[in-house]
């Protein structure tokens, strides 16, 4: 059968969870995206069920030593108001998250060296006393730092690869190195963290072929969690205005393909998707996703964590976000999962 046949490719993906570069490209370019989304939704139901894992996001510092051209937290952005939360404030937010019923905390910041190993280990161990699964998203660190976080009790680590296109990566991330980033991901995995990664879709200069390579890279790690974020232009960065119009659907397709290739992993319906489409996270949940990360940071700080503008739920309180998201989940006959939402690996050969 010809490769140019969506039914053939989708069947192959369901049976083997393996696709070649040409087949992935075909799915990305296909106009029959609804078929892809429906199949990804069925695969999601079969392997991870109807529960949606909520991860409470605490953005505890918007300082960053890096200077990524597309990001509002970049060190050369002097328009942004910077903040750092103290241990007490972080624990206070975590306690509230506990009260709202969250089982996982995601601690996120720019690459901020103020929080050295000692400070970070203290924050981690205090949060772990509250019986959370704990995810860190602090950027690139040394092996020793990752190891200390693991010893202190952190369970998971998010580090987006952003793009595996070496030339593009080095152009957009001055002073950073793709090999080093990949090395960080290997180290995180070696240390026994659940590893989360993902890409930004629609970066200036990115091609569909390079996105195909990104997908293959994510499967090769293999990741335990994935988040796909459409690129949203930030006027406070050197990047010129980019139209994000078609990026919602493109991001959704990439996410759905990842569900077919890695059927049992956790996949986020990302906030950036909902920034482009006001039903974005719900549509993503119906196209393969099973995780949402509601913001549990105080409203006074949320507005300063401005990687891109127009982010949803900036003025809402953490309790409002918690109630709102649960209602949205129930509206599509899904439910908020009551466990910590670890990656439950399925033996694909026995399926």
The footprint of ligand SF4 (CB under 6 A) covers 64, 66, 68, 71, 73-74, 110-111, 139
Question: In the structure encoding, which two tokens stand for residue 248, read together?
Answer: 């919602």
Nearest distance in Å: CB 326, ligand SF4: 29
Rank residues 111 and 126 by Cβ distance to ligand SF4 and give the closer one.
Answer: 111
Nearest distance in Å: CB 333, ligand SF4: 36
Nearest distance in Å: CB 192, ligand SF4: 24
Nearest distance in Å: CB 263, ligand SF4: 29
| Contact (Cβ atoms closer than 8 angstroms) between residue 97 and residue 318 | yes
| Contact (Cβ atoms closer than 8 angstroms) between residue 345 and residue 14 | no
Nearest distance in Å: CB 168, ligand SF4: 14
Rank residues 172 and 267 by Cβ distance to ligand SF4 and give the closer one.
Answer: 172
How far is C-alpha 64 from the geometric centre of its chain's CA atoms?
Answer: 19
- Alpha-carbon distance values, 216 to 25, 36, 68, 212 (Å): 11, 18, 24, 6
Rank residues 55 and 141 by Cβ distance to ligand SF4 and give the closer one.
Answer: 141
For 46-61, letters b (16+ CB in 10 Å) and e give ebbeebbbbbbbbbbb
Among 268, 186, 199, which Cα is nearest to 231's?
Answer: 199
Nearest-angstrom CA–CA distance, 265 and 306: 28
Nearest distance in Å: CB 309, ligand SF4: 14
Question: In the structure encoding, which two tokens stand for residue 62, read together?
Answer: 């918007």
Rank residues 68 and 283 by Cβ distance to ligand SF4 and give the closer one.
Answer: 68
Nearest-angstrom CA–CA distance, 215 and 262: 10
Element (H, E) at 60: strand 51-61
């Amino acid at each position: 059968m010809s490769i140019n046949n969506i039914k053939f490719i989708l069947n192959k993906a369901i049976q083997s969870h393996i696709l070649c570069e040409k087949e992935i490209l075909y799915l990305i370019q296909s106009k029959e995206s609804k078929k892809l989304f429906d199949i990804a939704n069925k695969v999601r139901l079969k392997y991870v069920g109807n529960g949606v894992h909520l991860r409470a996001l605490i953005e505890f510092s918007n300082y960053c030593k890096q200077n990524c051209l597309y990001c509002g937290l970049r060190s050369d952005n002097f328009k942004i108001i910077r903040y750092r939360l103290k241990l007490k404030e972080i624990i206070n937010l975590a306690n509230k998250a506990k009260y709202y019923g969250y089982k996982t905390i995601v601690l996120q910041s720019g690459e901020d060296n103020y929080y050295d190993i000692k400070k970070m280990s203290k924050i981690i161990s205090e949060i772990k006393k509250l019986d959370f699964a704990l995810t860190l998203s602090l950027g690139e660190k040394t092996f020793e730092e990752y190891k200390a976080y693991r010893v202190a009790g952190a369970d998971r680590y998010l580090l987006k690869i952003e793009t595996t296109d070496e030339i593009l990566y080095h152009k957009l991330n001055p002073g950073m190195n793709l090999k080093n980033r990949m090395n960080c991901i290997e180290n995180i995995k070696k240390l026994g963290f659940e590893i989360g990664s993902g890409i930004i879709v629609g970066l200036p200069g990115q091609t569909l072929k390079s996105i195909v390579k990104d997908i293959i890279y994510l499967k090769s790690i293999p990741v335990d969690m994935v988040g796909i974020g459409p690129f949203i232009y930030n006027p406070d960065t050197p990047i010129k205005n980019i139209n994000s119009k078609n990026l919602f659907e493109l991001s959704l397709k990439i996410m759905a393909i990842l569900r077919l290739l890695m059927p049992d992993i956790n996949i986020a319906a990302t906030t950036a998707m909902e920034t482009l489409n006001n039903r974005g996270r719900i549509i993503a949940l119906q196209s393969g996703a099973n995780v949402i990360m509601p913001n549990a940071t105080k409203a006074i700080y949320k507005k300063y964590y401005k990687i891109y503008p127009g982010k949803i739920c900036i003025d809402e309180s953490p309790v409002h976000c918690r109630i709102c998201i649960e209602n949205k989940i129930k509206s599509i006959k899904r439910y908020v999962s009551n466990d910590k939402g670890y990656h439950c690996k399925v033996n694909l050969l026995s399926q």
